[in-house]
Structure 1
Amino acid sequence: MSTIYPEKLTPHQASLDIKEFWRTLVQQRYLIFLSIAIALVISITLSLLTKPIYRATTVIEIERQLANVTGIGALNADDPRDNRDFYQTQYELIKSRSIAKEVIDKLNLAKEMQPSGLKANIKNLLGLKSEPDYEGIFIEGITVEPVNTSRLVRVSYDAGSPQQATLIVNTLAEVFVQSNLKRSARTAESARTTLMQQLDKIKADLKISQQELADFSNEHAYINGKPQEVFKKEKLLEQLDETLKEIQTLRSKKANAENDKDNEDDEKALSDIESELNIAVKKEQNLRVEISKLEGDINSNKNNNLQYEALQEAMKTSKVAYSNLQQKLKNINIAGGYSASHFIVVDKAVPPRKKHRPNILLNMIFGTLLGGLL
């Protein structure tokens, strides 16, 4: 039994004949040239009839403020995600409706954005006229392009004339920088107001604590932070120390006098020494009694001491808090214009020499390809 192969069952398909294809192109060359010519004419005509658009570009440096000069809050400069969020926020702020409205009002662009043409006229006749979205129209002309591995960003605006595009994009950059200054000023003013309120409260608390401490000191006879009994005890201890030294000296004299006793004069001298010694010993005893009594008074007034220490600590805490808030307020006043210096217009836009669109050369190439395909 013989085997039947597939190639014997199907006809052989001829491969593409390059020569035949070229022969066809040559035969249809006039039609192809005509199609290309028509496409070129149409593309050039449309390019010439299309309203030219010019793009002006300015460069802004956006430097993140890292120094926490106000002492209120802190920026985590080490977190890449935090940095990305910050810069992306700035890019979106450039295209925000609030900044767009400010530029439109400043340059009086609303008149130039009024809708015109057949569609607008029909709407007016039918009473369907509505207020244009000026901010939306304006934002469509903005292009924001961050420069890689830098803190620079290119901000461009597309308009119908080189001068208008330049004026608008420079004004946009100026408004953006000024808006950042205003936001910084509002933040600083808000922080200043908060600190002033805190300062007033701390100042009142400090005044109250100082008055309470003074009243307590007067009532319980505290001098330089110590009760009066402590100073009396310290004075009595000094007297006791002097008395003990005196007693020691008299006892030495008595011992010498007893050894040298030869006549009545020596007897009299010894008697005088003994009399002085007895007086000194009596004085020592009295001093010890007074000191013991004062120690009892001091121990019985421990609660007063604890209360005084608490009042003193409260006053110190209020003083430290007041001093810290004063320093923060000073830092805020110094930092008033600090962050604005980190949003700088590096290069102002100049009127562009060439149209951004339509691109006649690109349209001609596209028309040629399209005509050839047809």
Structure 2
Amino acid sequence: MSSADHSPVHSHAKHADVTLAEYWHAIVSRRWLIAGITILVAAAVLVGTLLTTPQYRATTTLQINRDAMNVVNIENLMPAESPMDRDFYETQYELLRSRTLAQEVIRKTHLADHPAYKDIAQKAAENAAAGAEGDQASVQKRQQEAVERALTADVLAGLEVEPVRNSRLAKVHFSSPDPALSAQVANAYASTFIADNLQRQLDASTFAVKYLSERLDQLRGKVEESERALVDYSGDQQIVSVGDDQPSLPAQNLSGLNGMLAASQTAKIQAEAAWNEARGGNGLNLPQVVSSPLIQRLREAQVDMESEYNQKLATYKPDYPEMMRLKGRIEAGRRQIQQEIGVIRASLKSQYDAAAQQEQLTEQQINSLKHDQLDLQERSIRYNMLKRDVDTNRQIYDALLQRFKEIGVAGNVGANNISVIDPAEIPGSPYSPRLPVNLALGIVFGFFLGLVIALVLHLVSSMRRASRG
């Protein structure tokens, strides 16, 4: 034999083969023990399964939306789902598993009177009555509460909530020994859950309406109080509002007077220029004189009489009565012309004085209005503060009133975000125990138990032989 045959690797492989062969020999030699243990365990499982009370499972399928259908808003008729709504659905599933809902279902289905739960209910009622004190009504109430508490654990044990993956559906399973009772309780869970959901919405809407109604009453009084304060202050300070975007009356009058002042100054300049021209010279070249028909006729008559006088001067002497009479007429015409020019000068002087006085009066009114406007601005500080209070209170009141109306409309719709898709039906066969599955598991478990026992016996036997040797 070569040295390779005695290597450690070869020895280890040989030892492993011998060990596996020993195990296989132990299993084969004790095959009837393994078969017996397997049959025994399978028989025990079969007997236990046959002795187990059958459980019938009924299922109701619910659709749970994040929000109810928005009937009052056409644009968003269907609720929008969000991946962030997992907490909402988990809350709904826990509500389905709650003790409160289970107790409501117990009352609704009268489970305390059903044969499957009657013994538990009677025992709980007797225990509650044994230590109860007081009148009959209070004793009965405590008995009922004790019965509901006792039955709650069994009802929750038979309940299973199964969310349907990637959907808004949830299956509510209920198992009991009575198939009709299973369907009744499953449907009662669905209807009670929907009713409780509607009641919670109604309670929330009622609370919101009550709260907003109280707040509206408070804000209505606050708006009236602020408006009254604004009116009182504006009356005391003689502040007249002409609109939010309109200037005050003094400001409007000041704007008009500024235009009047500009016109008055222009008229004064023109009247002063005319008067300065009129009061110098003989005034014959004044535009008013040139354009006066009366003066022009007088001047024409003057020219005619002077021409006649010069013609007759060649014949008559100046002291001739006819010549003296003609000369008197010429002087009278000259005086009349000067008188008319004087009237025009006086008119120009009056126009100038009137324009100057109008300018002065306008300036005085502007100065007075400036003082009034500054005084009004100072008094308007408090007025604007009061007006802002009125506007703010009115905006808050209008917003709450709109919300109050919206809640009132939405609360009357009675929409529900939970609906039954498939009601539970009476199951025709039991859901558990499952005889084929249990028997298969019993055979597998018995076989492995037999293997373990056979190997343990082999190891014990080997150890004994080794100790003897």
Are residue 271 (structure 1) and residue 349 (structure 2) matched? no
Structure 1 gaps of 5+ residues are 70-76
Work out which of the residue numbers 114, 119, 124 in structure 2 matches 1:115: 119
Give SS of 2:223's match.
helix
1:245–1:212 CA distance, 2 compared to 1 (3 A): farther
Q: C-alpha displacement at 1:285, in angstroms? A: 0.4
Structure 2 gaps of 5+ residues are 73-80, 132-142, 279-284, 296-336, 451-469
Q: C-alpha displacement at 1:33, in angstroms? A: 6.8
Separation in 1, partners of 2:394, 2:410 = 24
Separation in 2, partners of 1:40, 1:190 = 62
Deviations 1:147-200 (A, max 9, x none): 222222111111122221111111101111221111122122222222222211
Q: Which residue of 1 aligns with 2:433?
A: 358
Separation in 2, partners of 1:5, 1:228 = 121
Structure with max Cα Rg: 2
Once superposed, what is the RMSD of the aligned Cα atoms?
4.0
1:20–1:311 CA distance, 2 compared to 1 (3 A): closer
Q: Which residue of 2 aligns with 1:96?
A: 98
Deviations 1:239-259 (A, max 9, x none): 545544654664676669835
Separation in 2, partners of 1:207, 1:58 = 56
Are residue 53 (structure 1) and residue 62 (structure 2) matched? no
Q: Which residue of 2 aligns with 1:86?
A: 88
1:337–1:154 CA distance, 2 compared to 1 (3 A): farther
Q: C-alpha displacement at 1:286, in angstroms? A: 1.7
> Which letter does structure 2 place at the counterpart of 1:288?
E
Q: Which residue of 1 aligns with 2:406?
A: 331
Aligned residue pairs total 353
Work out which of the residue numbers 217, 228, 236 in structure 1 matches 2:234: 217
- Identity of paired residues, percent? 25
> Which letter does structure 1 place at the counterpart of 2:390?
M
Q: Which 10-residue stretch deviates more, 233-242 or 144-153?
A: 233-242
Q: Which 10-residue stretch deviates more, 240-249 or 208-217?
A: 240-249
1:260–1:279 CA distance, 2 compared to 1 (3 A): closer
Structure-to-structure mapping, 1:172-183, within 5 angstroms = 172-183=189-200
CA contact (8 A) 1:157 1:168 kept: yes
CA contact (8 A) 1:39 1:368 kept: yes
CA contact (8 A) 1:56 1:157 kept: yes
Q: C-alpha displacement at 1:232, in angstroms? A: 5.3
Q: Which 10-residue stretch deviates more, 176-185 or 300-309?
A: 300-309
> Which letter does structure 1 place at the counterpart of 2:391?
K
1:349–1:253 CA distance, 2 compared to 1 (3 A): farther
Q: C-alpha displacement at 1:331, in angstroms? A: 2.1
Q: C-alpha displacement at 1:35, in angstroms? A: 6.3
Q: C-alpha displacement at 1:340, in angstroms? A: 5.1
Separation in 1, partners of 2:412, 2:425 = 28
Q: C-alpha displacement at 1:319, in angstroms? A: 1.1
Separation in 1, partners of 2:250, 2:20 = 123
1:33–1:307 CA distance, 2 compared to 1 (3 A): closer
TM-score normalised by structure 2 residue count: 0.64
> Which letter does structure 2 place at the counterpart of 1:50?
T
Q: C-alpha displacement at 1:327, in angstroms? A: 1.4
1:144–1:272 CA distance, 2 compared to 1 (3 A): same
Q: Which residue of 2 aligns with 1:188?
A: 205
> Which letter does structure 2 place at the counterpart of 1:133?
A
Are residue 167 (structure 1) and residue 167 (structure 2) matched? no
Separation in 2, partners of 1:23, 1:221 = 119
1:344–1:66 CA distance, 2 compared to 1 (3 A): closer
Higher relative helix content: 2
CA contact (8 A) 1:36 1:371 kept: yes
Work out which of the residue numbers 261, 276, 298 in structure 1 matches 2:373: 298
Separation in 1, partners of 2:86, 2:98 = 18
1:14–1:325 CA distance, 2 compared to 1 (3 A): closer
Are residue 16 (structure 1) and residue 21 (structure 2) matched? yes
Q: Which residue of 1 aligns with 2:383?
A: 308
Q: Which residue of 2 aligns with 1:73?
A: none
Q: C-alpha displacement at 1:274, in angstroms? A: 2.4
Give SS of 1:192's match.
helix
Deviations 1:318-374 (A, max 9, x none): 111111111111222233277953222222222223211011111222343455555
CA contact (8 A) 2:239 2:376 kept: no
Moved over 6 A (4+): 3-8, 31-35, 66-69, 127-130
Q: C-alpha displacement at 1:145, in angstroms? A: 1.3
Separation in 2, partners of 1:354, 1:266 = 135
CA contact (8 A) 1:55 1:157 kept: yes
Give SS of 2:232's match.
helix
TM-score normalised by structure 1 residue count: 0.78
> Which letter does structure 2 place at the counterpart of 1:328?
R
Deviations 1:294-329 (A, max 9, x none): 322432454311111111111111111111111111
Separation in 1, partners of 2:20, 2:387 = 106
